[in-house]
């Protein structure tokens, strides 16, 4: 056996034997793995299917008849999953590529993006100074209120004050419903007051995409101009990204992915995305998502009952963030993450709103229920895990 397969076996054992609470991870089906490990990995297919309506059609290589059909099938499935007629591009290799392409499609370097900062629960690619998004664009951040919820009044004020070319909603550590309708209304009002103002509304739904697909979170479709996502979090699919957009932006989005930000698409991964969509359309998947949310609420309530401070005081989705800064000021998120690791529980340190520590230390821990719900955990199991985590935390020597 080669060293690589030894290591894969070790990782398989790790995944079998740990309690996985990282909110962005999940366990894919055997069919997703079959598709991603298939012969499609051998095929080069720069370009788009010949039937593409965006104006970008045709591949730069021969032998693409099958992958053309596959890619269009994949796009059709995802429109069904999200009950939308938006244009969809399934070629982004990741959420980061999808976001960069979305910015490149409609913005010019130097334009202003109004988004949630990484520290407050946003994402690295939403304008962090260390990411290309923060290097190419001017970033303004909207605030959270004292309870840690998005301050929509602050979005309205900042839209009026700095007239961003894009308002970006979406988060990687935010446990509450995001009111896309309210943000749309803020932008509509600003546009009504200034006819020359034409901002784009983009939603990065990566974390909550599965909830949106199952009707457990309000949809951004029909409200946002561009919607990006990954396929591997609550959607429980292969790793990768996608971009949806209003039809009039189709040409810009397609050329921003290829040739601007990427070369050849990963057709084996597109096959994995298609299988993911087939699965997301089943009643079993919808019930899975409902259980993810029930589990998250039950576990979160248990932490609160044990005296923990949960950001926003609860959760509406698949995750929540425990803020240790008041209840356990001597502990950092890093210390808790490391100790949980030692006890075969995997979670990640996370900044909390108004964080005083560095992103390497942090004062919080993010917990998600999507992965262990796939393994069959119910509310009682998550409550038991919460109690175990409390024991471990109480045992940490600061």
Q: For the window 73-112, what string marks contact with ligand DSN as x by the rule CB under 6 A?
A: ----------------------x-----------------
Binding to ligand DSN, residues 141-180 (CB under 6 A): 172
Residues in a beta bridge with 346: 20
Of these residues, 228, 230, 312, 362, which one is catalytic? 230
Q: How far is the CB of 13 from ligand DSN (least distance, A)?
A: 23
Least Å distance, CB 368 to ligand DSN, is: 9
- The verdict on whether 34 is a catalytic residue reads no
SS (H, E, C) 75-135: HHHHHHHCCCCCEEECCCCCHHHHHHHHHHHHCCCCCEEEEECCCCCCCHHHCCCCCHHHH
Q: Can you tell me the distance from the alpha carbon of 265 to that of 49, in angstroms, rounded to the nearest whole number?
A: 11
Q: Is 285 an annotated catalytic residue? A: no
Closer to ligand DSN by CB, 128 or 302: give it: 128
**Cα Rg of the chain, angstroms:** 21
Give least dist CB 348 to ligand DSN, A.
Answer: 7
204 counts as catalytic: yes
Residue 319 CB, shortest distance to ligand DSN, in Å, is: 9
**Does 176 qualify as catalytic in the annotation?**
no
344 as an active site residue: the answer is: no
Residue among 24 and 276 whose Cβ is closer to ligand DSN: 24
Among 20, 21, 24, 255, binds ligand DSN (CB under 6 A): 24
- Cα gap 116→174, rounded to integer Å: 10
Catalytic position from the list 59, 233, 252, 334: 233
Instruction: Give the residue carrying structure tokens 């609470």.
Output: 21
The runs of H, that is alpha helices, within the chain are: 3-17, 30-36, 65-81, 95-106, 132-136, 152-162, 180-193, 209-213, 250-255, 267-280, 283-305, 333-342, 370-374, 379-395
Closer to ligand DSN by Cβ: residue 24 or 312 = 24
Half-sphere exposure in the Cβ direction for 232 (13 Å, CA): 18
Q: Name which of 97 and 255 has its Cβ closer to ligand DSN.
A: 97
- Residue 172 Cβ vs ligand DSN, minimum distance, rounded to whole Å: 3
According to DSSP, the residues that pair with 219 across neighbouring strands are: none
Tell me phi and psi for residue 365, to 5 degrees: -135, 130
Distance of alpha carbon 25 from alpha carbon 350, whole angstroms: 15
Decide: is 332 part of the binding site for ligand DSN (CB under 6 A): no
Residues that bind ligand DSN (CB under 6 A): 24, 95, 123, 172
Residues with catalytic roles: 44, 46, 204, 230, 233, 239
């Amino acid at each position: 056996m080669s060293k690589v397969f030894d290591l894969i076996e070790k990782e398989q054992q790790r995944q079998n034997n740990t309690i996985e609470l990282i909110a962005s991870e999940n366990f894919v089906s055997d069919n997703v793995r079959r598709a991603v490990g298939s012969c499609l990995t051998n095929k080069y297919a720069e370009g788009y299917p010949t039937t593409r309506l965006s104006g970008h059609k045709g591949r730069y290589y021969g032998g693409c008849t099958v992958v053309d059909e596959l890619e269009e099938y994949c796009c059709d499935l995802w429109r069904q999953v999200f009950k939308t007629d938006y244009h969809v591009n399934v070629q982004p290799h990741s959420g980061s590529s999808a976001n960069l392409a979305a910015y490149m499609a409609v913005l010019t370097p130097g334009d202003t993006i109004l988004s949630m900062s990484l520290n407050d629960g946003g994402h690295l690619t939403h304008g962090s100074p260390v990411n290309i998004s923060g290097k190419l664009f001017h970033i303004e951040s909207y605030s959270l209120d004292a309870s840690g919820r998005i301050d929509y009044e602050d979005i309205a004020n900042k839209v009026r004050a700095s007239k961003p070319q894009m308002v970006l909603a979406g988060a990687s550590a935010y446990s509450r419903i995001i009111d896309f309708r309210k943000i749309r209304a803020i932008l509509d009002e600003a546009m009504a007051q200034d006819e020359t103002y034409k901002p784009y509304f983009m939603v990065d739904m990566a974390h909550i995409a599965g909830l949106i697909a199952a009707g457990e979170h309000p949809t951004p479709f029909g409200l946002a101009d561009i919607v990006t996502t990954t396929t591997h979090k609550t959607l429980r699919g292969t790793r990768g990204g996608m971009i949806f957009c209003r039809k009039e932006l189709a040409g810009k989005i397609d050329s921003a992915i290829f040739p601007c930000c990427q070369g050849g698409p990963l057709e084996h991964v597109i096959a994995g995305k298609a299988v993911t969509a087939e699965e997301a359309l089943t009643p079993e998947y919808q019930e899975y998502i409902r259980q993810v949310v029930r589990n998250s609420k039950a576990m979160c309530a248990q932490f609160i009952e044990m005296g923990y401070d949960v950001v926003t005081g609860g959760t509406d989705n698949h995750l929540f963030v425990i803020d240790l800064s008041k209840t356990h000021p001597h502990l950092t998120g890093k210390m808790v993450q490391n100790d949980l690791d030692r006890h075969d529980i995997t979670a990640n340190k996370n900044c909390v709103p108004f964080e005083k520590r560095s992103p390497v230390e942090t004062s919080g821990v993010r917990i998600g229920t999507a992965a262990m719900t796939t393994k069959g955990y119910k509310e009682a199991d998550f409550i038991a895990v919460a109690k175990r985590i409390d024991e471990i935390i109480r045992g940490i020597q600061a």
